[in-house]
Amino acid sequence: MDGFSNNASQRDEPAKAFAAMLAPVRSAFLASLPDHIAAFEEFCELERDEDRLELAGGLARRAHRIFGVAETLSFPKLGRSALDLEIKLGARTEIGALDGLVTNFVSEMRQALHA
């Protein structure tokens, strides 16, 4: 069993080293979330579609960035929410009916912050 444990621990070394390399990236990602949360909450406070459309491009870009890294940093649910939102924001067709998706996305970001 000792031999197996040693082999297993040797096998774990690259994974541990990789996790160590990703740790500062994960911290930087989490540090960026409050700014994203504020941006999406501002969107929800807007009532006129025209005002929302003005923000849509920038928010789609934010969602795109979060989607690009969330899963790699072990936040798969957040990544999927980001993708859903990026697609809807990019389509710009249901801009007045995105509150549910945005709220869910903000909630995912808050959960990531408290993970």
Partner 1 sequence: MKVLAVDDDPIFRAAFEAVLRHHDIADLDMAASGQEALRLVSTQTVPFDCIFVDIQMPEMNGIELAGILRAMDPEGRTQIVMVTGLSDRQYIDQAFMAGAVDYITKPLDALEFKARLSSIQRVHESRLRANAVQEQLAAATNLQHQIDYEDALTPPDVKGLISYMALRNYLKAIGRPRYALSQRIGICVENAANIFVRTNDEDFLDIMADVGEVIVETLKSQNLMVAYAGSGEFIAVSSAIYLASPEQLESQINTALEAYQEAYLIDAVPIVRVGKAMRGSIFARRSIDEGIDEALLSARARPTMHGYSRARSA
How far apart (Å, rounded) are the C-alpha atoms in residues 15 and 27?
18
> x/- contact string, 82-101, with partner 1 (CB under 8 A)?
-x--xx--x-----------
User: Does residue 74 bind partner 1 (CB under 8 A)?
Assistant: no
Nearest Cα to 109, choosing from 43, 34, 59? Answer: 34
Question: Are 99 and 44 contacting, i.e. CB atoms less than 8 angstroms apart?
Answer: yes
Position 77 contacts partner 1 (CB under 8 A)? no
Rounded CA gap, 61 and 31, in Å?
A: 18
* Member of 7, 9, 12, 18 binding partner 1 (CB under 8 A): 18
Site of interaction with partner 1 (CB under 8 A)? 14, 17-18, 21-22, 24-25, 28-29, 32, 61, 64-65, 67-73, 79, 83, 86-87, 90
